[in-house]
Amino acid sequence: MSRIADDATTAWIRRYHPSDGSAVRLVCFPHAGGSASFFHPVSVRFAPEVDVVALQYPGRQDRRTEPCVEDIGKLADLLCEEIRGLSEKPTVFFGHSMGAVLAFETALRLEELGANPPRAIVASGRRAPSSRRDERVHQEDDAGVITELRALNGTDAAVFGNDELLRMALPAIRGDYRAIETYTCPPGRRVRCAVTVLTGDADPRTSLAEAEAWQDHTEGAFHMRVFSGGHFFLAGHQDEVNAEILQELDAARAAGS
């Protein structure tokens, strides 16, 4: 397997502030319809002391001509192969919404392979992997998908006012919704690493009980913090969210030294 340099960027791996001298790594998994650039502020906060890697899924931004991967398992397989190419370094995964599930599934694969699995997962804005709801946004027409996006309030308002941008974004959004809405996970499936869950108290897609159920999916330490706000609560609590991430990064650094 070819190795990816600590300051390199690829189709999948985005580094907005590359540094080859960091002692710990943060890998960021975007939400449904999201892109690597969503985590640019996280990179601003932590780089260059932390190697901040933001993942870019196919079907969006500069990868918009590539077909979306509409299956969580297949996408996790691909992400696992990419992350295996990174250097050995204490690592924390941070995923929001669909990204939290992908972080979980990718961590499971890396643990099984013994290939530099994460020391912790920070799962934001997503119910536990085995908490199932009958959601079918991916089967809605374009107007229905847009209604869902407005309800979650996580899409730049400028996109809604620009037909061209919206047409470009909808295929990736629909593909991601198909992936996450058809995903299933057995109740007993667990990662060995620690899990920290961040959730909004008014998230229409995740109840507090569904968020707390993440503790059934880890053999490691479990911590949950509730913020005021909806599905994209982290936009209004960036400093507090960063503090939670920093705590896991410090623990990973200490464990790896």
Catalytic residues: 97
Q: Kindly tell me if the per-residue pLDDT of 182 is higher than 90.
A: yes
pLDDT tens digits for range 11-69:
999 999 998 889 999 999 999 888 999 999 999 999 999 999 999 999 999 999 999 99
Residues 103/80, Cβ–Cβ less than 8 Å: no
Where helices occur in 161-207 by DSSP H, the ranges are 163-181
- pLDDT category at 190 given cuts 50, 70, 90 is very high
Q: Residue 205: what pLDDT?
A: 87
What tens digit of pLDDT does each residue of 153-163 get? 655 444 434 45
Q: How many angstroms separate the CA atoms of 32 and 132, rounded?
A: 17
Q: What is the per-residue DSSP string for 18-36?
A: --S--SEEEEEE--TT--G
pLDDT in tens, 106-132: 999 999 999 889 999 999 999 999 998
Which pLDDT does position 231 carry in this prediction? Answer: 84
Query: Residue 97 is which amino acid?
Result: S
Which residue spans within the chain are E strands per DSSP? 13-14, 24-29, 50-55, 91-96, 120-124, 194-200, 222-227
| Sheet with 120-124: strands ordered across | 13-14, 50-55, 24-29, 91-96, 120-124, 194-200, 222-227
pTM, two decimals, is 0.92
